[in-house]
Chains A and B, each alone.
Chain A
Amino acid sequence: METPADPAALKPAVSCIKTDSAGKPYLEGHKCSACGEVFMETRRGCPKCFAVGTLSPVKLSDKGKLYNWTVVYRNFPGVPVPFVSAIVDLEGGGTLKGNLIEVEPDPAKLKFDMPVKVVFGDAGRTDKAGNHYLAYFFAPEAA
């Protein structure tokens, strides 16, 4: 997955995708200053320790480990299958679901805790107005 020439020109597919001042995309999480837990998306209170108003944005690592996966063979019409649905734990906090690409979608090829990196690319689907979107993906990290 090649990062698009100008990712900042694409709309983020989800709100946790941000671009830095150099135009480079990254994932943003929110960290609770009371308990230290990192979440995707902001909230009024901390879901873990219930403190209110303690979350602040934090730039997440682009490296992580494959916590869990499944190979999806049947999906809604128009969604290309098979693909790997992955749950990834990022280094330093943040857990999210995404597609694992650049790997054969074969249960025998997928290993729990295999190192992965976060990559960004065109979502490959547009809204009704024809706008393109920037999505995140996971890809195996060379050991």
Chain B
Amino acid sequence: MSDVYVVGTDMIKFGRFPDRKVEDIGAEAALLALADAGLTIGDMQAVYSGNLGQAGAGVGQRILRQIGQTGVPVVNVANACATGATAFREGWMAIKAGVYDMVLAVGCEQMGKGLLGGAGGGDGISTEGLLGSGTMPSVFAHVGLEHARSYGTTFEQFAKVSVKNHHHSTLNPKAMYQIETPLEEVMGAEMISYPNTKLMCSVNVDGSAAAVLCSEKKARELGLLGRAVRVRASALASDPYTQHNLAAMDFNAVTKLAAKTAYEMAGLGPDEVDLIELHDCFATAEIVHYENLGLCGPGGAGRMIDTGETNLGGRIPVNVSGGLLSKGHPLGATGIANIYEITTHLRGEAGKRQVEGARIGLTHVVGAGSACAVHILEKV
């Protein structure tokens, strides 16, 4: 089976674009990624389009109406917040299988402000706030407090994640926000669901990102290997049964499963990874994923954030893009935006936030319900 390469990728600066159509937002990133590769939509043999809010409304085809109706197969993908990464993985699989040599993966999303989620309706009345809470801030508050239950993790430690990622975003012109948020400001912000304050919740934004995937043979033939990045592993998991996952969504077992699969596929371990973009939809989530991704042993995450190991310049920088907390989280685009971020570092093109000497990077997203996708990328 051929190795698969990312030969072009880009994202738009995340923001709020209520006056634009979602396909226009997606088309912009698609054209940027194609231009980055020096290719056109006419070179693509298939398109994998990730969008959640309008799943079922043919967003992939609508993007092609904006940039060229080439008649190639379009696969519209929806997989909760793992939508973009799943679209990317579908493209990777098609090339792995030898069906295509070159495909486009694009993710886009247009979001409103406010709370996501909410407990499912009962037979006749909403059960949100009656039988507990299913809003995303509450779901991930439970995730954080389960960690606190086991290891005594503190409100302050969770809050430090937000301080770090907001600081990183000041170095990323494509992030929604570039604003420092000192610890007292994060902890003093409006409490949404303890321990997540408003500044510990990711930003609902509009955005898009895209990547051109290519077989080794084709990349060589077209002379595209110079700035290419190799996909060393692509893993996707659904939540395996755990005692609590039917009552409280599980993101731990599903991440451990996807991470194990990805490390085995890549033939490497977490110690060899130079930077990580992981799913910090809430500050509490980042802490648990340090352990789920094997960056430290059980209970080591609080120490990692306290000692700055995951800061830019630290032992294993995490979310130097600013993460979902500050770069923003346009659901269908997020997974591919992570691919863009890692690729940019492996190319040595990340400017002020460059992780020096980066050779291996890992992306991670989870989706409620639950899904987890992990990709490992390598500098060629």
Contact = CB atoms under 8 A, between A and B. Distances in A.
Interface stretch (A1-9, A55-63, A130-138): A130-138
Interface string A60-87: 0000000111111111100111010111
B158 to A, nearest CB: 12
A32 B358 CA distance: 50
Interface string B244-259: 1011100000000000
Interface string B167-200: 0000000000000000000000011111100000
B133 A73 contact: no
B129 A83 contact: yes
A96 B191 CA distance: 24
A127 to B, nearest CB: 4
A74 B130 contact: no
A40 B193 contact: no
A125 B168 CA distance: 45
- For the complex, would chain B's binding face be called helix, strand, loop or mixed by DSSP majority? loop
B192 A96 contact: no
A75 B115 contact: yes
Contact of B123 (A12, A69, A71, A75): A12
A91 B119 CA distance: 24
B125 A80 contact: no
A136 B122 CA distance: 12
B45 interface: no
B32 interface: no
A125 B126 contact: yes
A123 B193 contact: no
A72 B193 contact: yes
A74 B138 CA distance: 9
Given A72-B133, A85-B133, A131 B247 contact: no
A126 B130 CA distance: 12
Contacts of A80: 129
- For the complex, would chain A's binding face be called helix, strand, loop or mixed by DSSP majority? strand
A13 interface: yes
Contacts of A12: 123
A125 to B, nearest CB: 5
A97 interface: yes
B123 A14 contact: yes
A126 to B, nearest CB: 7
B241 A47 contact: yes
Nearest to B148: A112
B193 A14 contact: no
A72 B129 contact: yes
Contacts of B122: 13-14, 133
Interface in A77-133: 79-81, 83, 85-87, 89, 95-99, 107, 112, 123-127, 131, 133
A24 interface: no
Given A68-B248, A95-B247, A75 B132 contact: no
Give the residue among B119, B191, B243, B247 with the most A Cβ atoms within 10 A: B247
Closest 8 CB pairs of A and B: A79-B129, A70-B141, A97-B132, A85-B132, A127-B124, A85-B133, A71-B194, A13-B122
9 contacts: A13-B124, A48-B241, A68-B248, A72-B133, A73-B192, A73-B194, A95-B247, A99-B130, A99-B131
Interface of A: 11-15, 39-40, 47-48, 67-76, 79-81, 83, 85-87, 89, 95-99, 107, 112, 123-127, 131, 133, 135-136
